[in-house]
Structure 1
């Protein structure tokens, strides 16, 4: 609701108004404009100017936006872990996920190097994936810095495994674009096969679970990603045993 650019545009009076609204949002959502002006010691003209900076035509529209914002940030009732896992198995394992994992594993066995990327909780799992793959004989590296230099010999005939719940991470998309231009094959594991990352991948493995958010943090279960990574790594190990 309050973006960086909007907050930066506030003058001193508007900033004091912003601070009051943040601390008393549920109260402000039901106030009249004159009541808010009296509480914050600013004019109604200042409040209307404040509302226009949030692209609201007036105070009434601002209150509607504020109520929606409050509703979105109400405490989430978390699903049980059993529910999330069951949802994954019911939705995904009835599809072609096994075929996609086998195709991805086959692609990895033909590559000279494997690069994992991700950010946030996906970054933690990307690091885990690189370690797990390496433990089973497919040496992998995890890159978390977009400016990290990757030598051309690692980019040549490489496979990049991208992890992202939304499939819309700006960091990951930017990095994938560069690696793709350098000739790396892209395997992505996302929650949505229609996301940007999925679309630019050579192989996408979607897992379809309901996303969960708590206080602006994405707390969607990562159990499906663990399952996919470990299954792929074991399939790669079997393929390498056959090849050797």
Structure 2
């Protein structure tokens, strides 16, 4: 609604109106145009001109759009993390989960090079995984830049551990396809196995927790991912110690 191009075109009076609205959004949606004009010390004509700059025919339409934005930006109710974690821990005892984890361990153990890949919030998990592996004497490269040049990389005999909640991000899919083209293997950690990334992977671990997000941010609990990567790292370390 408030795009930067329009904001940069506002004059001093209109900037004051904008600042007032940002500080009083919840009350402005119930104001009359005269009330907003009085509060911002401008004329109703200036308010109308302000509204038109944001693509609204009048103040009523502006308030409707503002109210819609407020509804979109409301923080969702976060579910009970303890219940989610207990359900996840129960699933870690199933044969299917143990099979998936072991398959990932085998692929990573056989690789000459390990790349921990994730963008956005998942990039933090990829970075943590790379550092945790390093603490156990297992070197890996963290890639958190979607534009990291992979075309010249020798990915043969290498594995990319890719993190993505949805497994549908266009940037992560582009990266995964580049890995496949260059002969690398993919181990993915996603929220479910029905996503595109999981289908492109040589092995996948899915943790199946409720998807939670607001308009701007992914809020899905990621504690299960920490459990998974630490378990894998410790198992790899055991294998290393036995050699």
Aligned to 1:157: 157
Change (3 A) 1:182 1:151: closer
Query: Any conservation in 1 of the 2:130–2:139 contact (CA below 8 Å)?
Result: yes
Trace 1:1-244 onto structure 2 (pairs within 5 A): 1-8=1-8, 10-12=9-11, 14-40=14-40, 41=42, 43=45, 44-52=47-55, 59-74=59-74, 78-89=78-89, 96-136=96-136, 138-146=138-146, 154-169=154-169, 172-212=172-212, 218-237=218-237
Aligned length: 239
Change (3 A) 1:94 1:33: farther
Change (3 A) 1:66 1:213: same
Change (3 A) 1:192 1:150: same
Question: Once the 2 structures are TM-superposed, how far is the Cα of residue 36 of structure 1 from its aligned partner?
Answer: 3.1
3-state DSSP class of the match of 1:204?
A: strand
Gaps of 5+ in 2: none
CA distance in 2, matches of 1:168, 1:5: 30
Change (3 A) 1:21 1:207: same
Between stretches 82-91 and 156-165, larger displacement belongs to 82-91
Query: Any conservation in 2 of the 1:92–1:208 contact (CA below 8 Å)?
Result: no
3-state DSSP class of the match of 1:142?
A: strand
Question: Once the 2 structures are TM-superposed, how far is the Cα of residue 138 of structure 1 from its aligned partner?
Answer: 4.4
Question: Once the 2 structures are TM-superposed, how far is the Cα of residue 98 of structure 1 from its aligned partner?
Answer: 2.5
Question: Once the 2 structures are TM-superposed, how far is the Cα of residue 232 of structure 1 from its aligned partner?
Answer: 2.4
Q: Aligned-pair RMSD on alpha carbons?
A: 3.7
CA distance in 2, matches of 1:32, 1:125: 48
Question: Once the 2 structures are TM-superposed, how far is the Cα of residue 116 of structure 1 from its aligned partner?
Answer: 0.3
Q: Deviations over 1:106-146 (max 9, x none)?
A: 22233211100224543232222123334556432212345
3-state DSSP class of the match of 1:188?
A: strand
Question: Once the 2 structures are TM-superposed, how far is the Cα of residue 27 of structure 1 from its aligned partner?
Answer: 1.1
Gaps of 5+ in 1: none
Query: Any conservation in 2 of the 1:91–1:208 contact (CA below 8 Å)?
Result: no
Question: Once the 2 structures are TM-superposed, how far is the Cα of residue 59 of structure 1 from its aligned partner?
Answer: 4.1
Query: Any conservation in 1 of the 2:91–2:97 contact (CA below 8 Å)?
Result: no
